[in-house]
Structure 1
Amino acid sequence: MGRQWWWGRGKSAKVTSMSMVLVLVPLILGAEARKGRVLESFEYTAMSCRGHTASITDFGGSGDGKTSNTKAFQDAVNHLSQYASDGGAQLYVPAGQWLTGSFSLTSHFTLYLHKDAVLLASQDMNEWPVLKALPSYGRGRDAAGGRFASLIFGTNLTDVIVTGANGTIDGQGAFWWQSFHKGKLKYTRPYLIEFMYSDNIQISNVTLLNSPSWNVHPVYSSNILVQGITIIAPITSPNTDGINPDSCTNIRIEDSYIVSGDDCIAVKSGWDEYGISFGMPTKQLVIRRLTCISPYSAAIALGSEMSGGIQDVRAQDITAIHTESGVRIKTARGRGGFVKDIYVKGMTLHTMKWVFWMTGTYKAHADNHYDPNALPVIQGINYRDVVADNVSMAARLEGIEGDPFTQICISNVTIGMAPKAKKVPWTCTDVDGITSGVSPRPCELLPDQGPEKLKACDFPAEPLSIDQVLRRNLIGWKFEQWSNLMSTISIFSLSKVSNDGLIWKGNEVGVYSVSSCVKVCSLGSEDVHFWKNIMRRGLVPPRVESFMWQVVLQKLAVKTELVKRGVLGIEDVLCPL
C-alpha cells in the first residue's frame, strides 16, 4: 500500500489563508529508503508552512515612496507574532515604494516582497535604533561606540524567511557613505539584513541595492540558507560587503550575483581579543555558483576578523570578473584564532590583480589592547581546478615570520598573465605546501609534485549537514528543469476529504503536495465543480489543489531533479513561491 500524506487546513490572520509558501516533500527512494531510513547526519530542521498571512496595507502601510512605514511594518510583525505557535505567519509587501526605518522580525515568519515592491531605507536617523557593539568585536566598525540596527533585524529567532519574487531592498546608501567619508558618524552604519543568535534562516530571491555598509550579516546563528539573491552597490562604495557569515554554523550560500565596493563574501568570527574571548567560530560553510565583481576586494575573503576561528569552508563554481583576488586570507599578529580546512574547487577568473592572496600583516585592530603574541593558525588551504586570464600577478602569499601558513595545496591551475603583468608571477614568504599542474610555475616554497598529483588537493566527498536537506526556491528555473522535476511519479490519487484537509495516496516513490503555483491552474471537464468546491470550502489554499489536480490527472512527477541534486531518503522542503 502506498504512503499517505495529509495537508492541513490553512488559517487566516487578518486577510486570507496561507499563500505562496512551501512544497512539502517526503521523499522515499531506494530499497533502504522504503524502510523509512533517514540519513543519520540529517540535522537541519525544515521550515514549516505558514498558517496565516497579511499585507502591509492592512496595517496602514503606504507605498508612495514618501510616507514612513516603520510603524506599519513593526505593528504588522507584532500582530503576526501571535501566530508563531499556530502555523506561523507571512507578511506580504505588494508593489510600491515602501519607505521605512529599521524593524525587527519574529519567529516562524516570512517576509515576502512582490516583484515590484521596493523597501526604501529611511534617511532619518531617528528611525534607526542604536545597539550595543557586538561582543565579539568590542566596538563598532565605523566608530568606537554602538551601531545602528539593520534595516531588517532579528535576534533570538527561529524559522525566518526573507524572500519574494525578486523584490528590492534599497538601502539608499549614498547618504551614509557621505557621512562616513566626512567622519560625521557617531555610530556604525546599519546593514540591510542582520540576524543574531538565530536558527533556521532563509534569505532568497531578493535584490539588495546600495547598502549603507554590509548587506547580509548573520551572526552567532546556525542553519542559514542564502540563495538566489542579487547584491549591487557602486564599486567605490565603502564597506559594502555582500554576505558576511560571522560566528555561524551550517551556512549555505549559492546562486548569487554580487557587485560590491568590498568583498563579495567575507567570512568572519570576531576581532582580536574580543573574538578570542567570545570564542565562536564560523564553520561548515558551503558556497556555490557565486558570481562576483569587486575591483578593489576579493570574491571570497576569510577574515580579517577571524579571531574566533574559521573552519570547514567549501567553495565551488566561483566566477569573478574585474575583481582584486579570488580567495583571500586576511590576518595578522594579535588576531589569534585559526583558518583551516578550506577547500576551493572550480574558479573561473577574468581580469584579476591576484588569483591567490594570503596576508599575514593586515593591521587593522579593534584597539591597542590586543595581544601581539596571539598568533593565528593558517593551515589546510586547498585550491584546485582554477582557470584565470588577464591576471597581473598569480599569487601573493605572505605568512607571518615564526608562524608560517602551512599545508597549502594548489593543483590543476592555469593562469593567463596580462600584457603588463608583474615580471615575477609568484611571491611567497613564510608559507609551506605543495603544487601540481600549476602554470605559471609556482614559487620554491610550494614545490611541484608532478602531473600524477593533479588531484592532490582533494575536495571532501562527504557532504556537510547543511547539504543534507534541499530547500530550493524554484522561481528562476528553466523549463527543462521543471520538465525533469515532473518526470517520475507514477500513481497519485486523492484518498479522503475531511473537514480539516485532504489525504493524498501515492506509491512507494513518495507522496507530494504543493502549495504555491503563482496562479490557479486551469481545471477541466467534470472535475471542475468538485475541485472548485474544495477550494471554496477552504480546506487548503486553491494553489495546492490546482497543482495536485495536474499531478493526478496529467501524471506529472517529481524525482529526477531531486536525485540529480543528491537528495536520497530524506524529507525536504521546496519553495516555488
Structure 2
Amino acid sequence: MKKRSQWFIVLVLALSLIAVAQPPSVKIQDEVQSYCKDLPFNMSVPAIPTFPDRDFNITKFGALGDGLHSNTEAFRRAIEECSKAGGGRVVVPSGMWLTGPITMRSNVNLHLETGALIQFSGNFDEYPLVDATYEGQPQLRCTSPLNGNRLENIAVTGEGVIDGAGEAWRPVKKFKMTATEWKELVASGGVVDPSGSTWWPSEQAMNGESNLRKLRESGKTPGKKELEVVRDYLRPVMVSFVECRNVLLDGPTFQNSPAWNIHPLLCENVVVRNITVRNPWYSQNGDGIDLESCRNVVLYRSNFDVGDDAICLKSGRDEFGRKRGRATENVVIADCVVYHGHGGFTIGSEMSGGVRNIKVVNCLFIGTDVGLRFKSTRGRGGVVENIHISDVVMKHIPTSAIDFNLYYGGKAPTEDESAEDKSSAAKEVPVTEQTPRFRDIYLKNISCTGARDAVILQGLPEMPLSNISLDHVTMTATKGISMFDAKDVKITNSRVLVSSGPAILLNQTSKLSVVGFEYGRGLLMRLAGNKTKDIEIKNTKLDGERSIEFGRGVSKDAVRIK
C-alpha cells in the first residue's frame, strides 16, 4: 500500500508539472474553446498559431532603440532570418524603435517586450503605393506600416506599443479642437483649406480628393504613376493582414493610425485578446478594428478608445462586395470595453458580401456616440442575419443606444439628420440585388443609462427590418423606442423610461409584439403610417385611456391589448 501511495504522489506531481509547463498557446486555445461553447450557430474553433522556441532579437541585426536611427532594414532582416529558420519570435526589446513599413512572414511572432515602442516613420516616401482594399473597394493606397499578405501562423504579441504616426497623415477638423489646440496645430506646419475649417498635413493631401476625382473622370483608370500627385491623400490602415490564416494579436497597444487601426481582410482563424486600441477622438477614419470578410474570429478582453467605429464588421462595398461574395461570419466578441467611438459595436456600412453568425456578449460602452450600430444604404445589397447580442451595458450615449440606419450617408452620428426626417422623405423603390437586408437580430439583457434615443429601428419602405427581438432591455433616455419600416419585432420584459414623447413610436411598422413592458407614466405608444398594423400589447400596465395615440391613416383596430 505504501508503494502505491508513493507512486500516486509521484503521478500527481508529474501531472502538476505538466500542467504548469503548458505553453501559452495551450492556455489561449483553452480560453478560445470556452468562448466558442454553446453558440447559436456552428463555428470552427480558431487554431492558435504556435512557433518554434527560437528568438531573433532585432538588436542582433543592427537595430538601435534611440528613436532617431531608422531600423527598417533591421526589422526586415530579423523577420527574414526567422522565417528562413522555420519560424520563431522576432523580439523587440525596451526602447523606441523608429522604422518604415514592417512586412510579416509566415511562422513569425513579432513580440514586443515591456517598454518597447515601435514608432513608424512619418516620412511618406517610405510608404509606396500598393494595391489595397479600403472602405470596401479595391484601390491603390500607401503601404500599411505593419502588413502581411497570404500568410499562415503569424502573431503580434507582448506588452509594448505600436504607433502609426497618424498625426503626420490625418486631416483635422477645426470644430473638433479647442482654440489653443488649433493654434498649435496650424503653427506646426501643414496647410489650412480655403474655408479655414480643416487642417491638412500637406497641400497635396488637401487637394487629393478633388484631384483624384479629376483623374477618375478622365475615363482612364489611374495607375501608380498618375496617383503620385495625390499620394499624401491616400492614407493607409496601420495593420493590414490580407488572406492570412491562424492569426493572433495578443497584448500590445495599437495606436495613432493614419486611417483605420487594424484591418484583417479575408482572414480565417483570427484570435484577438488583451489588446488596447487607441486613436485621438477627433481622428478622421480612426476606426479601432475592422474585420472585413473574415471567418472564425474570437475577439475578447480588449479595450478601445478611438475616433470612429471601435469594433466593426464589414464585407465589401456595393457591386465589388457582392461579386466577391465573402461574408464576415462566425465571430465571437466578448468582455470588451469601448470608450469613445462612433459605434461601440458596428456592422456596416460596407456589408455587401453579408454578415452572419455573430455573437457579442458582456461588453461595456462608455460615452460612445452610438452603442450598437447597424448601418447601410441602398446600393449595398447584402444580408445581415443571425446576430446575437447580449449582456451589454452602456452609459452616457450622446445619440442612440441601439441604432439601425439604412440611409447612411457617411456622417458621424452626432452630425446626422434625424430618423424622422429621413423617413418622411423616403420613397419606396423596387427591390433588387442592391437592396440591403437586415433580419434575425436578437438583443437580450441590454441596459443603458443616459441616451438621446433608447432605440431607433429604421429600415427601408421596400425592405423593412425583420425579426428583431428586444428582450430584457432596460434604458433611460430622452426619447424611447422608434421604429420606421420594420416588421416582426418583439419587445419582451423590457423597461424604457423617457423624458420626452412616447415610450414607443411606430411609423410604417407591422407585426409588433409588446409583452411585459414598463414605461412609467404618460404616452406608451404613438402610431403613424398606413402600413402600421398588427400591434399586440400584453401584460403591460397602461397609464390611462390616452396611453395610445393614433395618427392619420391608422385604424384603431391596428392595436390589440390583452
Normalised to the residue count of structure 2, the TM-score between the two structures is: 0.68
Root-mean-square deviation (CA, aligned residues, Å) is 3.0
Q: Does the CA-based 8 Å contact 2:135-2:350 persist in structure 1?
A: no
Matched residue type, 1:177: R
Provide the residue aligned with 1:161 in structure 2.
155
Aligned pairs for 1:425-574 (under 5 A) are 425-432=480-487, 433-440=489-496, 441-444=503-506, 445=509, 447-451=512-516
User: In structure 1, what is the Cα distance between the partners aligned to 2:350 and 2:305?
Assistant: 22
- Worse-superposed segment, 99-108 or 129-138: 129-138
- Worse-superposed segment, 111-120 or 173-182: 173-182
Q: Does the CA-based 8 Å contact 1:266-1:303 persist in structure 2?
A: yes
User: In structure 2, what is the Cα distance between the partners aligned to 1:148 and 1:21?
Assistant: 38
Q: CA deviation at 1:269?
A: 0.5
Taking a change above 3 Å as real, the CA distance of residues 99 and 268 of structure 1, as seen in their structure-2 partners, is: same
Aligned pairs for 1:289-368 (under 5 A) are 289-294=335-340, 297-352=342-397, 353-363=399-409
- Worse-superposed segment, 372-381 or 115-124: 372-381
Aligned pairs for 1:11-26 (under 5 A) are 22=24, 24=26
User: In structure 1, what is the Cα distance between the partners aligned to 2:63 and 2:89?
Assistant: 15
Q: CA deviation at 1:65?
A: 0.5
Provide the residue aligned with 1:112 in structure 2.
111
Residue deviations 1:463-497, cap 9 Å, x none? xxxxxxxxxxxxxxxxxxxxxxxxxxxxxxxxxxx
Q: Does the CA-based 8 Å contact 1:97-1:117 persist in structure 2?
A: yes
Q: Across the two proteins, how many residue pairs are aligned to each other?
A: 411
Q: Does the CA-based 8 Å contact 2:494-2:516 persist in structure 1?
A: no
Q: CA deviation at 1:272?
A: 0.6
User: In structure 1, what is the Cα distance between the partners aligned to 2:315 and 2:243?
Assistant: 14
Secondary structure, counterpart of 2:161 in structure 1: strand
Q: CA deviation at 1:89?
A: 1.4
Taking a change above 3 Å as real, the CA distance of residues 168 and 25 of structure 1, as seen in their structure-2 partners, is: closer
User: In structure 2, what is the Cα distance between the partners aligned to 1:27 and 1:324?
Assistant: 34
User: In structure 2, what is the Cα distance between the partners aligned to 1:301 and 1:26?
Assistant: 26
Q: Does the CA-based 8 Å contact 1:136-1:275 persist in structure 2?
A: no
Provide the residue aligned with 2:63 in structure 1.
61
Residue deviations 1:263-313, cap 9 Å, x none? 111100001111011111100011111111225x11011000101110011
Q: CA deviation at 1:54?
A: 1.1
Q: CA deviation at 1:393?
A: 1.0
Q: Unaligned regions of 5+ residues in structure 2, if any?
A: 1-7, 31-41, 172-199, 209-229, 412-430, 497-502, 518-562
Q: CA deviation at 1:47?
A: 2.2
Q: Unaligned regions of 5+ residues in structure 1, if any?
A: 9-18, 29-39, 141-145, 366-370, 453-577
Matched residue type, 2:485: D
Matched residue type, 1:157: L
Aligned sequence identity (%) = 28
Provide the residue aligned with 2:80 in structure 1.
78
Matched residue type, 2:439: Q
Residue deviations 1:32-62, cap 9 Å, x none? xxxxxxxx97654342232321100111111
Provide the residue aligned with 1:415 in structure 2.
475
Specify which of 246, 254, 260 is matched with residue 208 of structure 1: 254
Provide the residue aligned with 2:271 in structure 1.
225
Taking a change above 3 Å as real, the CA distance of residues 97 and 136 of structure 1, as seen in their structure-2 partners, is: closer
Taking a change above 3 Å as real, the CA distance of residues 372 and 130 of structure 1, as seen in their structure-2 partners, is: farther
Specify which of 161, 164, 167 is matched with residue 171 of structure 1: 164
Taking a change above 3 Å as real, the CA distance of residues 25 and 361 of structure 1, as seen in their structure-2 partners, is: closer
User: In structure 2, what is the Cα distance between the partners aligned to 1:337 and 1:41?
Assistant: 21
User: In structure 1, what is the Cα distance between the partners aligned to 2:242 and 2:147?
Assistant: 8
Secondary structure, counterpart of 1:245 in structure 2: strand
Matched residue type, 2:254: L
Q: CA deviation at 1:436?
A: 0.8
Q: CA deviation at 1:124?
A: 0.9
Q: Does the CA-based 8 Å contact 1:21-1:50 persist in structure 2?
A: no
User: In structure 1, what is the Cα distance between the partners aligned to 2:382 and 2:114?
Assistant: 42
Residue deviations 1:110-166, cap 9 Å, x none? 1100110001110111211321132993344xxxxx1122211111111111010x2
Q: CA deviation at 1:167?
A: 0.4
Specify which of 280, 299, 306 is matched with residue 253 of structure 1: 299
Provide the residue aligned with 1:265 in structure 2.
311
Q: Greater relative contact order: 1 or 2 (C-alpha under 8 angstroms, separation 6 or more)?
A: 1
User: In structure 1, what is the Cα distance between the partners aligned to 2:439 and 2:112?
Assistant: 42
Provide the residue aligned with 1:198 in structure 2.
244
Normalised to the residue count of structure 1, the TM-score between the two structures is: 0.67
Q: CA deviation at 1:190?
A: 1.8
Secondary structure, counterpart of 1:394 in structure 2: strand
Q: Does the CA-based 8 Å contact 1:130-1:149 persist in structure 2?
A: yes
Q: CA deviation at 1:321?
A: 1.0
Pick the structure with more helix per residue: 2
User: In structure 1, what is the Cα distance between the partners aligned to 2:492 and 2:432?
Assistant: 35
Task: Name segments (4+ residues, structure 1) moved above 4 Å.
Answer: 1-5, 23-28, 40-43
- Worse-superposed segment, 255-264 or 388-397: 388-397
Secondary structure, counterpart of 2:84 in structure 1: helix
Residue deviations 1:218-240, cap 9 Å, x none? 10110001111111111111111
Q: CA deviation at 1:20?
A: 12
Provide the residue aligned with 1:524 in structure 2.
none
The answer to whether structure 1 residue 376 and structure 2 residue 418 are counterparts is no
Secondary structure, counterpart of 2:289 in structure 1: coil
User: In structure 1, what is the Cα distance between the partners aligned to 2:388 and 2:28?
Assistant: 32
Secondary structure, counterpart of 1:362 in structure 2: coil
Taking a change above 3 Å as real, the CA distance of residues 48 and 430 of structure 1, as seen in their structure-2 partners, is: same
Taking a change above 3 Å as real, the CA distance of residues 373 and 250 of structure 1, as seen in their structure-2 partners, is: closer
Residue deviations 1:315-367, cap 9 Å, x none? 011111111111111111110111101111011111112111011112359xx
The answer to whether structure 1 residue 52 and structure 2 residue 54 are counterparts is yes
Q: CA deviation at 1:396?
A: 1.8
Residue deviations 1:155-214, cap 9 Å, x none? 1111111010x2001112111113477344535312221211110000010011211111
Secondary structure, counterpart of 1:239 in structure 2: coil
The answer to whether structure 1 residue 403 and structure 2 residue 403 are counterparts is no
Q: Does the CA-based 8 Å contact 1:130-1:147 persist in structure 2?
A: yes
Provide the residue aligned with 1:126 in structure 2.
125
Taking a change above 3 Å as real, the CA distance of residues 115 and 355 of structure 1, as seen in their structure-2 partners, is: same
Matched residue type, 1:247: S
Secondary structure, counterpart of 2:263 in structure 1: strand
User: In structure 2, what is the Cα distance between the partners aligned to 1:43 and 1:229?
Assistant: 20
